[in-house]
Amino acid sequence: MNTTPTVWLVGAGPGDPELLTLRAARLIQGADVLLVDDLVDRRVLELASPTTRVLAVGKRGGCVSTEQAFIHQLMIREAKAGAQVVRLKGGDPFVFGRGGEECDALRAAGIAVEVVPGITSGIAAPAAVGIPVTDRRHAPGVAFVTGHAQDGGAGADWAALAKSGLTLVVYMGVSRAGGIAQALVEGGLAASTPAAAISAAHTPRQRSVACTLGTLAETLAAEAIASPAILVIGDVVRVGAALANPEAVPAQAMA
């Protein structure tokens, strides 16, 4: 039994269990209670012991705020009862995963939190098709951005990002790809900028498309690319030789 009640906030990576950290695998195997998000691959859960209680606490289609509070209460109750509680999240728990909010709630309840980083989909999905998120020939850095602004929030400053020269890696961006592309073009990014989308990366359902910023929304619709998917916008897409249709990426303009 734990002396100080502790919850382990663990990144499950993008899908393939071989992309778990050794620590994540060990904690999953030793958990009494596993609280699991929708995006965690079923194959990862096969590592759990038959006696582990696996609770699916995904938020899709539900009332987000109530359910988030419910997840907090559940973790607090189980940890205080002495259970080894592992909160398992897709990718990395601190990248668009509400990991910060969960840490705050747990610490406020007197529970210690240990965070185990995971491979985030914003790096793993581009890598699955050979796209490096930075490449000194193409981009001096990368911005990880959500396409899904918080209710009432302004969201990312797309005009500033358009001028940044950074690779743009967009999470949760499929349904708003048209608006995002338009805001980037209005902000000064060329419509001919290479773009790609990778869905369900590192799972048997992985798919990818290459196109340009100007054709991104229509390409996603035509190819029926659905969530979960990562959008990559920038010249690094040219390096992505493993894309389904690399010929769709325009050749480098002469300087």
**Residues near ligand SAH (CB under 6 A):** 14-15, 39, 89-92, 95-97, 120-121, 125, 171-172, 198-203, 227-230
Please indicate whether residue 59 is annotated as part of the active site: yes
Q: Which residues pair with 115 in a beta bridge?
A: 9
CB 121 within 8 A of CB 228: yes
| Cα 186 to Cα 2, 164, 179, distances in angstroms | 55, 14, 10
Nearer CB in complex with ligand SAH: 11/214:
11
Query: Who's near 131: CB < 8 A, 6+ residues apart?
Result: 196, 232, 236, 237, 239, 240, 243
CB of residue 11 vs ligand SAH: minimum separation in angstroms?
Answer: 7
Which of the residues 32, 59, 80, 135 is marked catalytic?
59
What CA–CA distance (Å, rounded) separates 24 from 22? 5
Give strand ranges (E) for the chain: 6-11, 33-36, 53-56, 85-89, 112-116, 142-146, 167-171, 194-199, 207-212, 229-233
Which of the residues 16, 37, 41, 235 is marked catalytic?
37
Nearer CB in complex with ligand SAH: 171/239:
171
CB of residue 51 vs ligand SAH: minimum separation in angstroms?
Answer: 27
Q: Among all residues, whose Cβ is closest to ligand SAH? A: 91
CB of residue 118 vs ligand SAH: minimum separation in angstroms?
Answer: 7
Please indicate whether residue 172 is annotated as part of the active site: yes
Nearer CB in complex with ligand SAH: 183/229:
229
Please indicate whether residue 104 is annotated as part of the active site: no
CB of residue 158 vs ligand SAH: minimum separation in angstroms?
Answer: 17
Query: Who's near 156: CB < 8 A, 6+ residues apart?
Result: 145, 146, 149
Nearer CB in complex with ligand SAH: 71/229:
229
CB of residue 94 vs ligand SAH: minimum separation in angstroms?
Answer: 8
Nearest to 138 by CA among 231, 236, 223: 236
The pair of structure tokens assigned to 102 is 């969960």
| Rg from Cα positions in the chain | 20
Nearer CB in complex with ligand SAH: 197/213:
197
What CA–CA distance (Å, rounded) separates 230 from 232? 7
Which of the residues 32, 80, 135, 172 is marked catalytic?
172
Q: Which residues are catalytic?
A: 37, 59, 172
